[in-house]
Amino acid sequence: MIKIEADTLEKAYADAAAALKCSVTQLDIELIQAPRAGYLGMFKKTAIIVATINDTSLTKLPQEDKVLQKEEIQTIEVTEKETPLAKEKTEEKEAIVSKVKSKITNIIPKHMPNPFQHTQEKKEASEIEKIATQVASEINELFDLTCFKIDTIVVKVYDDETILIEFTGEDAALLIGKEGYRYKAISYMLFNWINSKYKVQLRLEIAEFLKNQEESVTRYIESICETIDNEGRAQTKILDGVLIQIALKELRERYPQKYVVIRSNPEGLKYIIINDYHNN
């Protein structure tokens, strides 16, 4: 019996097999602690397992599987100096290793993590999907420390440069605050963290607040568009926070040929002007 601690389950399994000088398929493994990424470097947990050799596993496997186990522990490396024959052998070995992984997956108990599943998912996932997964883990850990009764926070890809974060649940509306002041604070906090660390944009939805704001701005924009169509230029009323960003995006999409920009009055309040380029 041997106790192994490693950063990932894959490494723990490999270390156990190496220490006991056997194949992964010969191990009886007890999961003591699953790994956890933590939040901003805190609360990180390593993978801890206790492993023993199951001598009966070899006798139960057919002769073909014994051969496959020997092939499984070989390191496959293709270099530029390999001959066509060597490359052909390497491809055969890769096929054998793939078959071994399939067999190992089938014999692992259902309650134990699959040592190959996580690696495969990370390989197939795009970079922004990896970021969304990491942010979901960290943001849920953060808000678990609050007193608000909210559902598991959903984080998913919105587009190639943006992730969408959605808050729902019994107390989700309380995170909006009067006139959206809490929403603005949370949005500012999350954007500065996510954009500086992961270099992506943020779209924050709390209890359909963003959806309602977009609908409200869209209705208001219709009157602005009438003025633009009749006079060629217009100026919005004072818009705050997320509203001005929504309005700016929609006006630029409707009038790509015009000059659409945010301005500030002497008090620092923001509005949008729409004009022809030659008039500026």
**Of 146, 130, 109, 88, residue with least CA distance to 25:** 109
Task: Report pLDDT digits (tens) over 159-196.
Answer: 888 999 999 999 999 999 887 889 989 998 999 999 99
Higher pLDDT pick, 60 / 197: 197
- What strands lie across the sheet with 27-33, from one edge to the other? 2-6, 47-53, 27-33
CATH 3.30.300.20 domain residues, the chain: 125-207
Per the CB < 8 A criterion, the answer to whether 236 and 246 are in contact is: no
Indicate if the pLDDT at residue 280 is higher than 80: no
CATH class of 216-279: alpha beta
pLDDT at 85 (0 to 100): 60
Per-residue pLDDT, 83: 56
Give the CA distances from residue 252 to residues 101, 208, 216, 220, in Å, rounded to whole numbers and listed in that order: 52, 24, 17, 15
Residue 279 has pLDDT above 80, yes or no: no
Residue 129 has pLDDT above 80, yes or no: yes
Q: Look up residue 99 and give its amino acid.
A: K
How far is residue 37 CA from its own chain's centroid?
13
Q: Round to whole Å and give the CA distance between 39 and 224.
A: 45
Tokens representing 205 are: 């939805």
What are the residue ranges of CATH 3.30.1370.180 in the chain? 216-279
pLDDT tens digits along 52-97? 887 655 444 444 444 444 444 444 344 444 555 656 666 766 776 6
pTM: 0.47
State the residue for tokens 């649940």. 169
List the single range of 1-5, 39-43, 44-48, 96-100 with lowest mean pLDDT.
39-43
Predicted confidence at residue 143, as pLDDT, reads 92
DSSP-assigned beta bridge partners for residue 203: 164
Give strand ranges (E) for the chain. Answer: 2-6, 27-33, 47-53, 154-159, 162-167, 201-206, 234-235, 259-264, 270-275
Mean pLDDT of the chain: 79
Task: Tell me which amino acid residue 205 is.
Answer: E
State how beta strands 27-33 and 154-159 pair: unpaired
Most confident among 85-94, 240-249, 268-277 (mean pLDDT)? 268-277
CATH architecture of 125-207: 2-Layer Sandwich (3.30)
The confidence score (pLDDT) of residue 216 equals 87
- DSSP-H helix ranges across 108-180: 117-124, 127-143
What is the longest distance spanned by two Cα atoms in the chain?
87
Identity of the residue numbered 267: E
Sequence-distant (≥ 6) Cβ neighbours of residue 273 within 8 angstroms = 233, 234, 235, 236, 259, 260, 261, 263
| Exposure class string for 118-127: b at 16+ Cβ within 10 A, else e | eeeeeeeeee
Is 90 exceeded by the pLDDT of residue 275?
A: yes
